[in-house]
Amino acid sequence: MPTIQDILQFHFSPTAFQQSAQKIIPITLTSLNEHRIDKLQKISEEVGANSFSFSGNNLIPQVFRKFKNSIISKDTSFERRELRTLTYSLNHSEQSLTSIFINENELKYALTLLESNWRDSFLVGLIDCFLKNWETRYPKSLEQLEHFISQKLDNYSGNRSALASFKNNKRFFNSKNGDLILGDTIAKLNKPIQEATKILGVPESWFDYAYFSKVIVTYYERNKNNISNEIENLNQVLLKHNSSTTNKRLISKIIIQANKPEFSNLQDSIKKIAFTQIGDPSNVSNWNAFENATEIERREIIEARNILDEWIAKQFIDIFFRVCINDERRKRFWLNVASKNRVSFKVYGPTQTKNILKRDNRIVEYLEGRFQVVSSNRDVSAFILYIGDYMLIEFSDAGYAFYAYKLSGNNKPNLNYRLESVDELRNGSMPMLVYRSGYSINDTNREGRLTHNDGDLRWEQVFEYWFKNIAGINV
């Protein structure tokens, strides 16, 4: 009679399974691991096993507190390992204790302790602190640290590869322009900016240090003519560098450069990068200048934010007038206005309109902060543009007039609560903005409404007259 194993065609041998398990790790991998272990043991023998061991007393917080206490007690009895840890403690702070670096006298005392029992290996921790604080608010401390490091590099005559690299690359550690020289050098060598740490001779993990901010920006400046091919790479660099300062510095420059017809194919990509790395330009706080920004950098950030706002507004106008209104003349008119003025905008309408607009991937990420849902389900939406001292409102329904309200006046609609419908944005008692007969303009008002009806003059001509001569808006 056949067994269950025979019927299921399942034959299992525990002994064979045990033997195969012993061979699950390939011999090549085992040999590689043994080779690496042997290499690490040799390194430990060369530099001393103690270099890799840290007791609780040698950890940064403990050494930091010991140093702070020593200022009062005048106890300068620091072991060599504690001094090495001290080089990595210069940036540390906790509770009411400020960092050593920001206090010139404390930094001078720390460097004196290091000098008293100097080891060249201390340079790594000091350079780590130096590059982290490259754009510090405490330039005197940076200058003091730079002078000390420079002196030690000049005196170094050993053969440790990392320290030899620091000495050979000393020009890159000049706080006046070392970062600019490195960025320029990388561009001239036609190497990827990601190799900056390798060229400098520091760990790759240091790439997010403040030092590399202007290295990246200088690299961009030297390669900006090839921006079409560099844009995605620069985005990856910004993600790796992970600095809001560098994001604003670099993306502002890219936006300003790309605000030309020949770069229109890049603008969607740049918008996404800016929105992700900095934030929605409708939120001014996202685009505040960073600490220590120069006047030029402040102007560039403001200009870039305005350009980005304009790009988004033009894209919304294009989609809104195609999806919600399907009126080519009005779309063309407002695109022209948006391209010549500093604009911001909001859209008000029913939920179904918002859902329709959500289907367009070009604006979906900007929609939430710019589309306000009204309570009514009536299929009428309003596009509100803010230009200068005016709130300008276009409606999706052809029977609705255009409205212009002074922001400084009392007639503008109250948008501090949810609207029942876009009809609350209309005021039928307002006068016409322009009174005309034939080809003549007879009278005008600073606030009011206008229809999109042609006469002897096309409605665009009437609008342009009021915009240019009464509202002071470029057309």
**pLDDT confidence tier of residue 257, bands split at 50, 70 and 90:** very high
Write out the two tokens for 186: 């990388």
Q: How far apart are CA 45 and CA 40, in angstroms?
A: 9
Q: How far apart are CA 464 and CA 436, in angstroms?
A: 14
Report the amino acid identity of residue 194: Q
Establish if 27 belongs to a structural domain. Answer: yes
Each residue's pLDDT tens digit, 128-154 = 999 999 999 999 999 999 999 999 999
For the cut 70, the answer to whether the pLDDT of residue 32 exceeds it is no
Establish if 197 belongs to a structural domain. Answer: no
Q: Which residue pairs, CB below 8 angstroms and at least 24 apart, start in 107-113? A: 107/141, 107/144, 107/145, 108/144, 109/71, 110/67, 110/86, 111/144, 111/145, 111/148, 113/67, 113/76, 113/78, 113/83, 113/86
Establish if 250 belongs to a structural domain. Answer: no
Establish if 443 belongs to a structural domain. Answer: yes
Q: How far apart are CA 386 and CA 343, in angstroms?
A: 6
Determine the pLDDT at residue 327. Answer: 87
Among 130, 125, 292, 134, smallest CA distance to 213 is for 134
177 contacts: CB under 8 Å, gap ≥ 6: none
- How many domains would you assign to the chain? 2
**pLDDT confidence tier of residue 47, bands split at 50, 70 and 90:** very low
Q: What is the mean pLDDT of the chain?
A: 89
Establish if 238 belongs to a structural domain. Answer: no
Establish if 396 belongs to a structural domain. Answer: yes
Give just the sign of the alpha carbon dihedral 74, 80, 82, 84.
positive
Domain region containing 428 = 327-471
Establish if 185 belongs to a structural domain. Answer: no
Establish if 218 belongs to a structural domain. Answer: no
Each residue's pLDDT tens digit, 408-459 = 999 999 999 899 999 999 998 999 999 999 999 999 999 999 999 999 999 9
